Every structure is written in C-alpha cells, then in structure tokens.
Amino acid sequence: MNLLHSPPQHLRSVRRIGEVVGVLAKHRLAEWLSQTEFDSQKSHLTGGEGELPAKQSHATRIRLAVTELGTTYIKFGQMLSTRPDLVGQEVADELAKLQDGVPPDEPEVALATIATELGRPANEIFAEFNSIPIGSASIGQVHGARLPDGREVVVKVQHPGIESRIRGDLEILERLAGLAEKSAELKRYQPVAVVQEFHRSLLRELDFSREERNLQQFAANFATDPTVHFPQVISELCTSRVLTMELIAGASPHDAERLDQIGIAREELARRAVTIWMDMVFRDGFFHADPHPGNLIVLPGGAIGIVDCGMVGRIDESSRETIEDLLVAIANHDGAHLAHLIMDLCSAPPDFDEAAFSSDVADYVAFYYGSQPIDRFQLGGALNEMVRIISRYQLILPSSVSSLVKVFAMLEGTARLLGPTVNILDLIKSYQPKILRRRLSLRTQWQKWRRALGEWRHLGEVLPRGLDEVFKRIQSGTFDIHLEHRRLEPSVNRLVMGLVTSALFLGSAVLWGNRVPPVVGGYPVVGVLGCALSVALGLRLLTKIWRE
C-alpha cells in the first residue's frame, strides 16, 4: 500500500505508524512484527518504558492498547468483540467493555458544520437550537432542537476532520493486517479479510445519509405494526454529516418507575422487543445490530421506540434459512443435525475432525437444551459456549452470522431488563410457526422460482455462445485445458524426486551387478557412486516427509 499521497501526508502517516507500533510494543503486543520486514519501525519494538504489570492478561492489554490508539481502533475493537469465533471469548468479552465516547466539540464548531452542510445558520433553520449537546460519541454529537412548526427534533452533527483521521488510520490498519497475514500465529485470524470488512462498515457509519436510509427502511418494514416506532427523518435537513430526526420521548428500560406508570406488563414489553427483532431477522433479513437498552424507548401506550440505527446487519436468504434450521434443530434437541448445519455454514480447516466436532455439539445440546431447567437457561451463555466450540475447531462463521449471535445475546439482556421472568428461548420457539409459514408461503416460493428462472434464462443466453466458442477452438486446434492443483506442488515434487531416486538406484544396481568398467578394487566406480547417491537422496526425502 502506498502512503505517499503528498510529503506532509507521508510524514503524518509515518509518524502515526510509529505511534501505533509504539503503543503495541508498550503493551507487549508487537512481538509478531519482529518476524516481518517492517524495518522502518522496528526501533519502536524495544525499550521498557511504560511496560505494564505482568499481572494484566493478554486480553486486558489488547483493550488498553486499543483505547490508547483512539477512535478508529476503538471501533475496530468493538467490531472484533462480535467475533469470538476469531479472537476467542475472553478477548471478545474484554473488547466489549470499550467505550467510544469523546469530549464534545465547542458549540461554534457544531454550528459551523450545520451552516456549511445545510447552507444556512442554525438560527435560521430551527426555532430553537440547544448548543450544548445531549451526548457525544466518537463520530458525532447530538443536539436538541425545535422546528418552526413546533416539532421537537434531535440533530446529529459529525465531528470535523474525523473522516480524514479515520481514513488515515484505516490505511495503517490495512498495512498492519498485510504484515499480520505473514505471521503463522496470526494468519488463522484472517487479518486482511477482517480489516477489509471493518473498512467497509466504518466508512458506511461515517456517512449519515446511510443512517437516514436505514431509518426509512425500518419504518417502511414496520409501517403496519403499531407496537414499534422509528424516528421520522427530516430529509431536507439531512446530509452525509448532519442528520435531523424526530425526538422520541418515553421511558428508558432502566427506569422501572416510569415503566410501571405506562401501565403495560413488563413481560409483554419484553415479548414485543424480541418479536420485533425476530421479524427484522427472519422476515426482512435486515436488522438493527445494537439492541442494548440505551437504544430502546418505551412510549406512552406501550409501543417501543428504536433509535441509533447506524449499526445494521443484513443476512441473505440462504443464511437466513440455515439459521432458521439451526433454531429448529436446537428446539428438537437434534445435536447431529445442528452439527451438520454449522459445518455447512462455516469454512473449515483442512484437518477438521468432523466426528469429534459432532460429538462436542451433541454434548452441548444435551447440556444446554436438554436437562437444564428452563428458568435457569441463559441464551447468551449458551450462544457463547457454541462459539467457543466453533473457535476450538478453527471454524470461521460468516460475519453476518457472528453479528447475529451477538445481537441475540444482547437482546436477551435487554428482554430480561424489561421482563425479568421472560425466557427468550420460549419466545424463539413460539416464533417457529411464523418462520415455517413464511418459508412455505406462495410469495416465498414464487420469489425462489423467479430467481431460479432468471438464473436458467441467463444460462440459456450464455451457453450457446460458450459452446460455439469451444467448438471453434477445437476446429482450429487451439483448444486446451488448464488444470490448477492447489497445494499439490510439494507432493508432486516429492513424487518426481522419488521416481528419479528409484531409477538412479535401479540403474546403478544393474551397472554394479554387471561390473561395468571402470572397475577399482573389484568394484565398478559408476555403479557404486550411483547407488550411494540414490541412497543419500532417498534418506533426505524420507527425512523431509517424516518431519512434515
């Protein structure tokens, strides 16, 4: 990757790389860099200043380093906290503690951004604008305001310069990921793929117009459901750096007194929250990826308001149906089927032990979903244990599925806060008939047939041209077949070496047996040397095979 955009930019990049490597070294996380060709920054890997007490765990040191590196790395750590299948449950739990709050900008800074983005100063746009922010996070801060027509709104304003800083850090992260890919210890974590996924998601989060479209899509998906409400966006007052939307006022899930004043059973509220997310995932394939209590507001009348829709997930039809089958297998205590579904969903290493994995999954189902009393069942713990098993066998979950596992674990905590006696597994089981009805509905079947017909039509269009090209090449004598044997080169080389060694030994033995001259002391020189050489080559080949 070329960081030389301009001399000043290059100097900032080099300085920032030094800061990053220095922080990693300070927290004893940079040993792997000494195995790479990262010569320009190796001087940062030595020195004992700022070393941490040996009592701190590896996971804690990762969290402290990420916190010290700032916004981009905190966001990266938060993303990794949803991937225990990659980093392990201990590191994921530690990274889940990361907070991305930052001090707010001065009022005039936010007002200047609004004027630049919306083309008019805030006092001409809003009847009232509170210059003191309600809250501030890593990417932006939120202000309260009132429109000229009396509607109460919130205005989300991006911090100035945050995009350029994040893009610079992303370039450094990608460079470090490329180096990590060369490390045998870190390669299994797929650093390049993980950073590329993070790169895409963070740049989407920087664009507030995406959150605007997310809100509009959620509102359209739940337009006929009176139990859920998403804030209405004021599109004419939205840009990529400013987002204006309706203020939703109500009770926080933490406020037990206000929830009791609303007059709706807490268990009913919990059931509504879980059903809303089940509809998002299994009906729409588009879900809010951060269902913690701070993003839910209970409105007068009992409807649930959902805010902060910048983090969303999407899941394709195939993965959605596989997850539906997973839930059915869990409900039926079918460990064998559950193991096969997980193997279909994940990418497995070459030495994967299918029998051992199936046995562990069967034990897991028997423990969590068989004999355990339902009132003591914890879905979050069960999901985390399943991810531990997946990680132990070095299976890699699709990113959308790993995000979904985190969502359900978080959703359980929120549901128990609203209704402590509610069991989320019972609610998931009760949703199964709806899943089956949707899968077997005429609309779903027609969509599948329409996609299949489209694929067959495309094949029918390209197949004649492809066959015509093949026949022309055959007639002209230019047709050839290229075979690619992945990871077979060492085996082929050993096979060739074995054949050469065997031929050399046999030929030399014939020369020796027939005493072909020149003969010295009764021994044919060529035959003896040939046999000795073939024995040496054979021993060398056997030694290599034994070591590997």
Pairing mode of beta strands 519-520, 135-136? unpaired
Structure tokens that stand for 35 in this block? 């195995």
CB 147 within 8 A of CB 127: yes
Structure tokens that stand for 508 in this block? 């030399």
Q: Out of 85, 105, 169, 290, which one is annotated catalytic?
A: 290
Amino acid at 504: L
**Cβ contacts of 18 within 8 Å, gap of 6 or more:** 41, 44
Amino acid at 326: L
Nearest to 158 by CA among 76, 240, 232, 71: 240
- Residue 480 annotated as catalytic: no
**How many Å apart are CA 219 and CA 286, to the nearest integer?**
12
**Block residue for tokens 């060398």:** 540
**Block residue for tokens 């077979």:** 488
Number of neighbouring beta carbons within 10 Å of residue 65: 21
181 secondary structure, DSSP code: T
Q: Which residues pair with 246 in a beta bridge?
A: 153
246 three-state secondary structure: strand
**How many Å apart are CA 287 and CA 404, to the nearest integer?**
9
**How many Å apart are CA 385 and CA 408, to the nearest integer?**
14
157 three-state secondary structure: strand
The upper half-sphere exposure of residue 283, i.e. CA atoms within 13 Å in the direction of its Cβ, equals 14
CB 59 within 8 A of CB 27: no
436 secondary structure, DSSP code: H
C-alpha distances in Å from residue 291, one per residue of 111, 287, 379, 547 = 31, 10, 15, 51
Task: Count each helix (H run) and each strand (E run) in the chain, helices first.
Answer: 21, 12
To the nearest 10 degrees (0 to 180), the angle between helices 58-69 and 7-26 is: 150
Amino acid at 392: R
Chain centroid, CA 341 distance in Å: 20
The string of DSSP codes covering 70-109 is -HHHHHHHHHHTT-HHHH-HHHHHHHTT-----PPPPHHH
Query: Which residues participate in catalysis according to the annotation?
Result: 290
